Amino acid sequence: MTTPEIIGSTRSTYTHAIRLVCEEKRIDYKLTECPLRAPELYAIHPFGKMPVLRHGDFELFESKAIAGYLDRSFPAPYLFPDDLRLAALTEQWISLVNTLMDHTLIRTYLFAYIAPNTADGGPDRATIDAIMPALQAQIEVLDKAVAPRGYLVGSDLTFADLNLLPILHRVRQAPEGASVLAAAPHLTRYYEQHAARPSFQRTLPPAGPPRRSQTS
C-alpha cells in the first residue's frame, strides 16, 4: 500500500495528533516538515493550515477527517469505535476540544506567551489573567471526564484521547497551565499514563516553546 505523507510541523499539536494515529496503528508514514503557509499546505488546504495528507493520488485536509480516513484505511487497533454511543461520545469530545478548548488553552493562553502583543515582547499578562477562569473551568471538566476509567470515552484509547494529549503537553509548559493541571489529579494521572506510551515518546515535539501556527 502507498505510504501516507503527513505534511505539517512537528511543533503543531494537530500534526502531533495525526502522527499519534499512525504510531498507534503502526502505519508506515512519511512526515514532510514545513512552516506555516508553505506552498505544500496551500496545495491541499485552501487556507494553508496544517496538517494535510497525501496518500497516493488522494489528498485530504482537517485533522479529524485525516484521522478518520487513516483509521478506516488501515488495520486495527481502531481509534473510532463501532459502537454507536461510543462513536458519538468520541465525536463529542473531539468537537469540544477542537472548537472550544483549543481556542482557550492554545490560541489564547499559550499564544500569550509565544506570540504576545506587547511592546517588550514579554508575556501578555492581561490576556493570561483574563483567560484563567475559562482555563480553570475547562481543565476541571476534563479532570471529571477522565476520572472513571482514565479515558475520555469508554475503557479504550480513542482519537479523542490522541487529539487532546498534544494540547495538554503544551499547556504544561507554561507556569499557570502547569499549576492548574497539577491540581487536577485525575487529568494528571491520565496525562502521565498516556504520555508514557511509545507512540507519544516517539513523536515528542522539539524542546522549547512552540511557534505560532495555523493548524486544523
Reported as half-sphere exposure (CB side, CA atoms, 13 A), residue 40 has a value of: 16
Kindly list the domain boundaries of the chain, sorted by start residue. 5-73, 84-202
At residue 36, the pLDDT reads: 86
Cα gap 112→156, rounded to integer Å: 34
Mean pLDDT of 116-134: 94
Strands 52-55 and 58-61: antiparallel
Of the candidate CATH numbers 3.40.50.300, 3.40.30.10, 2.60.40.10, 3.30.470.10, the domain formed by 5-73 belongs to 3.40.30.10
Does the fold of domain 84-202 match that of domain 5-73? no
Exposure of 133 by Cβ count < 10 A (0-12 exposed, 13-18 middle, 19+ buried)? exposed
Residue 21 predicted with pLDDT over 80 = yes
Q: In which band, very low, low, confident or very high, does the pLDDT at 214 lie, cut at 50, 70 and 90? A: very low
Cα gap 110→96, rounded to integer Å: 18
Give Cβ neighbours of residue 13 (< 8 Å, ≥ 6 apart): 102, 106, 166, 167, 169, 170, 210, 215
CA distances from 185 to 110, 140, 188 (A): 22, 10, 5
Residue 13 DSSP code: H
pTM of the model: 0.95
At residue 118, the pLDDT reads: 87
Q: If you count DSSP H runs as helices and E runs as strands, how many of each does the chain have, helices first? A: 11, 4
DSSP states along 24-47: HTT---EEEE--TT-HHHHTTSTT
Residue 180 predicted with pLDDT over 80 = yes
Residue 213 predicted with pLDDT over 70 = no
Cα gap 180→134, rounded to integer Å: 11
Decide: 35 and 210 in contact? Cβ < 8 Å.
no
Q: Hey, how many other C-beta atoms are within 10 angstroms of the C-beta on 151?
A: 18
Residue type, 109: Y
Residue 209 predicted with pLDDT over 60 = no
Q: What angle do CA 162, 164, 168 make, to 5 degrees?
A: 120
Residue with cell 512537528: 10
Domain covering 84-202, topology:
Glutathione S-transferase Yfyf (Class Pi); Chain A, domain 2 (1.20.1050)
Give Cβ neighbours of residue 51 (< 8 Å, ≥ 6 apart): 6, 7, 8, 12, 14, 15, 18, 61, 63, 66, 215, 216
Residue 121 predicted with pLDDT over 70 = yes
Backbone angles phi, psi at 86, to 5 degrees: -65, -35
Q: What's the chain's average pLDDT?
A: 95
Percent of all residues in the chain with a pLDDT value above 70, rounded to a whole number: 96
